[in-house]
Structure 1
């Protein structure tokens, strides 16, 4: 009698050349879905910085897009993308608004911009990126630091406050407290903000 050999079992995890086109198609579909998710988040964030509002159920779909991105290979880069691209682009739009208002009282324009950022934009950014749990900085902390560095520090606030002949508006005081700007000179006084 001859020897009878059993065929070797194929494991599901072992690659087969015939499965390669299906694998590439699935990977391209996943990347296309990721690109679509990125684009929707990008458009929504810029719209918020420009003063627009989200449509009904758009926040839910944005949260779902971010959850999808977190599960993809792009997940670890979401906070970097937010900080280095979306946030910086949005804050440049705000800084540009400050430059457009150069003819008016700089304190009034900074007050308007801060109030808009703190009461409208910041909560919406936190809501959009709610699924993201930062390991180092939260979305709120990144946004506040970005506002300080890209808007406030470019506004020459120290000079404006030094020449101010009236009281500091409450919104500016709030901004300084929230951003913890220390040692800002105001008419021979030092504001020491804890």
Structure 2
């Protein structure tokens, strides 16, 4: 029966599951496609069902549950995301996404902090491999319709959250040797990849910390602060001085200021609206 739910035996969440995504992203029968799938003109102010479905999908991914189980599951989640983006609350999706993944990452760092130094890097490597090969691709596949906010795409937002919440919340500087001699290839790859994520200019304190870590495992290393040799800054760059001389609007997160909202809405007012909306989302989840 074409419309029955089928379990894909070959489905493996990760980078090698591309061959299965085509069947999971398409409903098993055309009857499952809603008549108003192309446009939803009359959106509710708060589409609670859509928000809850997407939030639950994020939780399942971080709990390593088998999300790619039923045919058409990705299609339904894409419809949920599309409905949210078309609604009046769609502008808050990026902020809520960041809050969702941050909340799911906090328990992970709690477990890592309880480990001794001898097992910390090995466990961190396992966490990174699972995150980068399974969690990140699935999140990108679900939220591919969400446009970047400033310079922060869904991929960049997720990597920055891993950097700030998991990696730099641990004692990573103490675990990585001064010359990085005993660091595994996967930990090296993780540090260099996260160091290459540009989420703001001038770089944030966490970005500078990543630069210092990268200089330990890669020598010589050229970064924002200058040139490093064996983990030490030997040639200072003039870039920080030039960045400090620029106008404030040119060094804000996301680059030069862009008009993306009415002139009557000030930045602090937008932050207040974001907080009020996220409070409403949490209130709906408790019901």
* Shared fold per TM-score greater than 0.5: yes
CA deviation after TM superposition for structure 1 residue 143, in Å: 0.5
The structure with more helix, counted as a fraction of residues: 1
Match for residue 212 of structure 2 among 172, 183, 186: 183
Aligned residue in 1 for 2:60? 47
Residue 172 of structure 2 is aligned to residue 143 of structure 1: no
Aligned residue in 2 for 1:5? none
Task: Give SS of 2:211's match.
Answer: coil
Residues paired across the two proteins, number:
163
TM-score by length of 2: 0.52
* Stretch moving more, 164-173 or 146-155: 164-173
Residue 102 of structure 2 is aligned to residue 88 of structure 1: yes
Aligned residue in 2 for 1:14? none
Residue 174 of structure 2 is aligned to residue 159 of structure 1: yes
Provide Cα deviations, 1:40-96, integer angstroms capped at 9, x if missing partner.
11111011011112132221111110000100011110001101x211112113223
- Tell me the C-alpha RMSD between the 2 structures: 2.6
CA distance in structure 2 between the aligned counterparts of 1:165 and 1:119, rounded to whole angstroms = 24
Distance 1:191 1:42, change over 3 A: farther
Structure 1 runs of 4+ with >6 Å offset: none
Aligned residue in 1 for 2:143? 129
Uncovered stretches (5+) of structure 2, i.e. residues with no partner? 1-41, 196-209, 218-228, 234-287
TM-score by length of 1: 0.75
Q: Is the 8 A contact 2:45 2:89 kept in 1?
A: no
Task: Give SS of 1:151's match.
Answer: helix
CA distance in structure 2 between the aligned counterparts of 1:102 and 1:62, rounded to whole angstroms = 40
Structure of greater relative contact order (alpha carbons < 8 Å, 6+ residues apart): 1
Provide Cα deviations, 1:79-133, integer angstroms capped at 9, x if missing partner.
01101x2111121132233245458610001100111111110111101111111
Match for residue 73 of structure 2 among 58, 61, 64: 58
Residue 48 of structure 2 is aligned to residue 35 of structure 1: yes
Uncovered stretches (5+) of structure 1, i.e. residues with no partner? 1-26
Higher Cα Rg: structure 1 or 2? 1
CA distance in structure 2 between the aligned counterparts of 1:165 and 1:71, rounded to whole angstroms = 48
Q: Is the 8 A contact 1:50 1:93 kept in 2?
A: no
Residue 86 of structure 2 is aligned to residue 71 of structure 1: yes
